[in-house]
Amino acid sequence: MSNKITGNIGPAGTTATITYTATKGAPPSTSHSVAADASGNHTSLPLPAGSFRVTATDPAGLLRYNTFDVIIDGVNDVSGVNLRSSAKNASNAQEGGF
């Protein structure tokens, strides 16, 4: 039985290529990439039971995304894999308060 991994990468208009890479238990040939839709959502092709690493790549190279390891049990779809982004040049520096 095959199942899908779904989630969101950001607000509408966010573009990215999402890659589902088989890491354990599933044949490497099941790895594939898809583009996020206009609403910023992603859905994998049907996948067999096993472990997959879900990553996203910004075509412009300006954003970095969270990475998730997901286990598919072959019975249930996995939803809520939200690959939120941040700017590559974002700073966590805080000013003041000395």
| 72 contacts 3 by C-beta, under 8 angstroms | yes
Question: What pLDDT, on a 0 to 100 scale, did the predictor assign at position 91?
Answer: 58
Show Cβ contacts of residue 12 under 8 Å, excluding neighbours closer than 6 positions: 38, 39, 40
- Kindly state whether residue 97 falls inside one of the protein's structural domains: no
Question: What pLDDT, on a 0 to 100 scale, did the predictor assign at position 98?
Answer: 46
- Kindly state whether residue 98 falls inside one of the protein's structural domains: no
3-state class (DSSP) for residue 79: coil
Tally of domains in the chain? 1
- Kindly state whether residue 81 falls inside one of the protein's structural domains: no
Question: What pLDDT, on a 0 to 100 scale, did the predictor assign at position 71?
Answer: 93
Q: What is the mean pLDDT of residues 10-15?
A: 80
Neighbour count for residue 1 (Cβ, 10 Å): 10
**pLDDT higher than 70, residue 1:** no
Residue range 56-77, pLDDT digits in tens: 888 888 888 889 999 998 888 9
- Kindly state whether residue 89 falls inside one of the protein's structural domains: no
